[in-house]
Amino acid sequence: MNQFVNESDVLVIGSGAAGMTLALHLNRKFSVSMLCKDKPMEGSTYYAQGGVAAVLGEYDSVSSHVADTLDVGAGLCNPEIVAFTVKQSTKIINWLVELGVNFDKKVERDGSTAFHLTKEGGHSHRRVIHAADATGKEIALTLSEHLKSRNNVRLFPKYVAVDLVTKDSLGLRGKDCIGAYALNLKTKKVEIFKAKYVVIASGGASKVYQYTSNPDTASGDGIAMCWRAGCRVGNLEFNQFHPTCLFHPNAKSFLISESLRGEGAHLLLPNGERFMHKYDERKELAPRDIVARAIDHEMKKLGCNSVFLDISHKGEKFVRKHFPNIFSRCLELGINITTEPMPIVPAAHYTCGGVVIDKNGKTDLPGLYAIGESSFSGLHGANRMASNSLLECMVFAKSAAEHIENNPRVLPEKYRIPLWDDTQVVSSDEEITVSHNWRELRALMWDYVGIVRTDKRLQRARRRIKVLQQEIEDHYSNYRISSDFLELRNLACVADLMVRCALQRQESRGLHFTLDYPNQSEELRNSILTPSSFN
């Protein structure tokens, strides 16, 4: 059948901040295979704008960063995990600086230089270190440059992981994860990747929504694969909508960083009036759930397609210095942000829930880790505080690497992962159904599982997703798999999990707002889903 079997100590699925940080922290004695389904840089990390939240300013402290994170998380953060993460923030930034990440600096009054810290929603003061408005690109390029000198790491671009392989799926005793199948997009063949440790670093699932700030890679593949393999997932109802994405027919998913508001930008109605003071005393710098809901409310009330964000009062020199990329992208689209407001709308941005993990990134299955946006660590609670995500990626990547090193695993000598059998299926002549179902799924998630929910809308979504999942299963049994089909299958799986979590939550909290239960309940509870194969 001419299939490849690749073998390494560690298989990392994803080459964003989480995957690359893990690979760089692992001892060189470990052989590492790193898969990414597109070009290595294509993922949310590369597009991150605002920066990384960390305790750096003289006036800042671990307790203040922890308190802000807990407050924004609306009661559901795990305080132990928040403290664990924030305590490591300074060290992680020092590590990035040592690697050569060029964060912005400012000149102090006495002539010395210090890092320029910006402010974002929910932070009680300036805490976000950044490289202008393209922090993710600077971090991603630096990490990938260092990976090039690691002979123990082999990168596999354009490989889409299909499913995990566990011992019990081979009829052996134990639930250990021992590898994965992945589709090589060049040969269109499925290959086997055997490994002692498998790390899911495949990012979030915001592509499940019609309008998103995320790149195409964010289709929740890792979350769906872990669920199918038998891991618990949690808090998937908390999908964060970023308040300010550019509203323009030619701007696919272009984010306007929250740091604009941190530096003084105002949100305006079409008639030029500010409105955030009606919703929260922190105005434009209230946590994202509050700002996104306020914009949604105003847009629905006025029947307008967008509201506006204005930073023109800060002057051209300031805007071009701090936001060079946003300035040039908007100018390309005919908007000069130094002289006029930009039209913005909220869009799906971040998956707060994911695969249940512990401090070391360990999932429920021995040998299987999940880190970064695909995981549910307990850091974000019901709403992630801005710029805490890159921090989480790097902190948990480091602790997972340490855990792998300190916990040797031996795989049984004689196991054999069966080759992928596609002899019983044919090439699809119905790919149109994949794109049709894809559009339908993303539109229904936007309409029924969006910023404002009701039980009726969620039930409607659930029924439609079930029908789509049946069609997807039929397709899977009869046709050869393609990258688009695999993404659709994973998006439908994650959409179903999101709706199930949302239906469990009979209250409004953080990012989950439902007209049927507008108040917060007294009970503090995560929404944990357990697969039937769990026990």
- What DSSP string describes 261-298? HHTT-EEE-TTS-B-GGGT-TTGGGS-HHHHHHHHHHH
β-bridge partners, 192: 5, 181
Shortest spacing between CB 425 and ligand SIN, in angstroms = 40
Residue carrying the six token digits 């308040």: 243
Shortest spacing between CB 452 and ligand FAD, in angstroms = 22
Per CB under 6 A, contacts with ligand FAD among 89-108 are none
**Nearest CA-CA partner of 214 in 46, 40, 453, 436:** 46
Contacts of 308 (CB under 8 A, 6+ apart): 267, 268, 269, 270, 341, 342, 343, 344
Per CB under 6 A, contacts with ligand FAD among 130-169 are 135-136, 159-161
**What are the backbone dihedrals phi and psi of residue 118, each rounded to the nearest 5 degrees, phi first?**
-105, 175
Residues 498 and 512: their CA atoms lie apart, in Å, by: 11
Shortest spacing between CB 302 and ligand SIN, in angstroms = 24
Q: Considering Cα of 26, then 30, then 36, then 42, what sign does the dihedral take?
A: positive
Three-state DSSP at 459 gives helix
- Look up 288 and say whether it is catalytic: yes
Residue 45 near which of ligand SIN, ligand FAD, none (CB within 5-8 Å, type-dependent): ligand FAD
Shortest spacing between CB 351 and ligand SIN, in angstroms = 12
Indicate whether 330 belongs to the interface with ligand FAD (CB under 6 A): no
- What DSSP string describes 482-530? -HHHHHHHHHHHHHHHHHHHHHH--S-BTTB-BTTS-SPPS-----EE-
Q: Which of 288, 442, 464, 509 is an active site residue? A: 288
Binding region for ligand SIN (CB under 6 A): 49-50, 257-259, 350, 386-387, 389
Residues 76 and 87: their CA atoms lie apart, in Å, by: 19
User: In the set 217, 338, 526, 527, which binds ligand FAD (CB under 6 A)?
Assistant: 217
Q: Looking at this protein, which amino acid is placed at residue 161?
A: A
- Identify which of residues 383 and 508 has a Cβ nearer to ligand FAD in the complex: 383
User: In the set 350, 369, 396, 448, which binds ligand FAD (CB under 6 A)?
Assistant: 350
Indicate whether 121 belongs to the interface with ligand FAD (CB under 6 A): no
Shortest spacing between CB 194 and ligand FAD, in angstroms = 16
Residues that bind ligand FAD (rule: CB under 6 A) add up to a total of: 44
Residue 456 tokens, joined: 């009726």
Indicate whether 202 belongs to the interface with ligand FAD (CB under 6 A): yes
Shortest spacing between CB 131 and ligand SIN, in angstroms = 12
Three-state DSSP at 146 gives helix
| Closest residue to ligand SIN in the complex (CB) | 50
Indicate whether 177 belongs to the interface with ligand FAD (CB under 6 A): no
User: In the set 3, 25, 31, 38, which binds ligand FAD (CB under 6 A)?
Assistant: 38
Indicate whether 369 belongs to the interface with ligand FAD (CB under 6 A): no
Q: How many residues does the chain have?
A: 535
Contacts of 493 (CB under 8 A, 6+ apart): 220, 223, 224, 227, 228, 469
Indicate whether 526 belongs to the interface with ligand FAD (CB under 6 A): no
Residue 160 near which of ligand SIN, ligand FAD, none (CB within 5-8 Å, type-dependent): ligand FAD
Q: What residues line the site for ligand FAD (CB under 6 A)?
A: 13-19, 35-38, 42-45, 47-52, 135-136, 159-161, 201-203, 213-214, 217-218, 221, 255, 350, 372-374, 387-390, 393
User: Which residues does the annotation mark as catalytic?
Assistant: 288
